[in-house]
Structure 1
Amino acid sequence: MAGIKLKNIQKSYLVEDRNVPVLNGIDLDIPHGQFTVILGQSGCGKTTLLRLTGGLEPADSGEILWEGNHKTAFVFQEPRLMPWLTVWDNVVFGLKKSEQNKEKIQSLIGTVGLSGFEKAYPSQLSGGMKQRAAIARALAYEPDFIMMDEPFAALDYFTREQMQKELLRVQKVKHSSILFVTHSIDEALILGDRIVVIERGMVKKIYPVETPAEERNLLDDGFISLKRDIINNLNFIN
């Protein structure tokens, strides 16, 4: 099955006639079937890493190697739904007619908890519901990887917590491979099978999280210790 290997990835941007390095030699294996979280402070290069991995823009140098098929879907901070389309039409947007299996799409909408809202328009949905529709649209594409750039950052605490649980449930049901960017240590600990800490455009440390997601308690001594270690490594407060 598909995995992704990043080898010595370099990326910089031209800012006011000055070359500003963003990624400085990233080496990283991203396994298939896991929830990989990219964690770091704002400006550390994590979104750039996601965009390069997903093919939205090229690296200056290095290699991004896919093992197996190369099919990606994206979920961003904003749901980016088409306001003139219903939930159903947004979910199937981009699919060929031959790919729009009604039973499959209906099951998918049910999986993200939107049964009964198939004919609703984005303006009639809450923020969390819009993000569920965006996740359903990504899943309908049947990607090898879903790239998610802080998709819950704009949500209130309770909606964010609900969406985290919803995403974990969907990932378990669909066996999805997810690359997820966040600057929240707690979110990384709640979601990730692997937490990749990025600092100054480099991979500083990778933390495997072996406790099943449904059994995690961030107040347990083990998770408190892990959070403290991440904070010390990044030298910031979440």
Structure 2
Amino acid sequence: MREQPEQQAPPVQRLRIRYAKRGRLRFTSHRDFSRAFERAIFRARIPMAYSSGFNPHPRISYAGAAPTGSASEAEYVEIALAQVVDPAAVQAQLEEALPDGLDVVEVVESPGGSLADLLQASTWLIDLPLPTAQVEAAVAAFLACDEVPVERMTKKGLRSFDCRAAVVSLEAAPRGTGTRLSLLLRHGTPAVRPDDVISGLTAVAGLQVGPEHGGLPLLTRLSQGPYDEAARTVGDPLRP
């Protein structure tokens, strides 16, 4: 009979971490980040709690990762520890161990509950190299629709879904020679991404975006967290 693996002690502390993807590091995939983060945890000698079983791994919970190519000021991860530590010390250790552009913004003791369940909505900035009048017309046409079907290639093949229902608000304003969109997205299934909204603008109004039309859109997530339906605001998952 195969010998049973050693059972690991339960965590004694959980820390919730907010980090940012900036500059060229916005092209970091979620897999790339998880590898870099686990290496940083090891280099910083943070006393991680481990799972039980034949292949123990550090208890790290990722949630709500931004799409590859998007910058973000509000990415979140939660870690479970085998010893009680000072969150400020962990922040300093991770900042030193992670590459520039993957920047730890804040570390707090977890307030409890599921981190993934708290990430109910997000706010985004989308910078487009297009005239504001043209983008405003596309936004008006998009918001006037009850449903905007778009397609996206997924691991399970090409998938069609409605991108309109997830959009709480969408506004256009001039920015330099182009236009900045401010977007509030409600999270759901399937998850609607900012690039899906751009595809929706193309579908309803023929908005042309891409290298052959002045350049790719720049996507930046500003926040994500619990959604207040009445106020139409996104809260802080570090302090729900």
Bin the TM-score by the shorter chain: under 0.3
| Higher strand proportion | 2
What TM-score do the two structures reach when normalised by structure 1?
A: 0.26
| Higher helix proportion | 1
The structure with the largest alpha-carbon Rg is 2
Higher RCO (C-alpha 8 Å, min separation 6): 1
